[in-house]
């Protein structure tokens, strides 16, 4: 059965999609950009600050659905400049010290609202 997950502790969807959908013990979290939920705006700062905010948003969705970071099995990172790859990885690695998920990372031309990064994840209980 499919269950839509929504929380006010993560940004509201800026398009026709859900923050996350759970089906058969698998949680699919839509791509999160570094929007601060309270303001609806991109957090100030560079790639490190934006990556931190993305993970705060992912964490809020995981929590709402009853999952943890250790449940993430796959992530996809979209960054608008590969020059930021190393700095993004420094923040990213802090969330997965042991049980690292599979991952893909791509440089893209543009992201919504001028974000520097977007990350989507899949988690399994």
Q: What is the CATH number of the domain that holds 100?
A: 3.30.1330.40
- The parent domain of residue 39 ranges over 2-124
In the numeric block, the tokens 């993305």 are attached to 54
Per-residue pLDDT of the chain (125 residues; tens, 9 = 90+): 899 999 999 999 888 999 999 999 999 999 999 999 999 999 999 999 999 999 999 999 999 999 999 999 999 999 999 999 999 999 999 999 988 999 999 999 999 999 999 999 999 99
How many beta carbons lie within 10 A of that of residue 121, not counting itself? 27
Total domains, the chain: 1
């Amino acid at each position: 059965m499919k269950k839509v997950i929504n929380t006010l502790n993560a940004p509201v969807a800026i398009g026709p999609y859900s923050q996350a959908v759970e089906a058969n013990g698998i949680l699919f979290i839509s791509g999160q950009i570094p929007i601060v939920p309270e303001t609806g705006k991109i957090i100030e700062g560079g790639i490190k600050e934006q990556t931190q905010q993305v993970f705060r948003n992912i964490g809020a969705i995981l929590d709402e659905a009853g999952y943890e970071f250790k449940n993430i099995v796959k992530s996809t990172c979209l960054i608008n400049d590969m020059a930021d790859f190393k700095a993004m990885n420094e923040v990213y690695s802090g969330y997965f010290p042991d049980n690292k998920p599979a991952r893909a990372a791509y440089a893209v031309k543009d992201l919504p609202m001028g974000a520097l990064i977007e990350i989507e994840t899949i988690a399994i209980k």
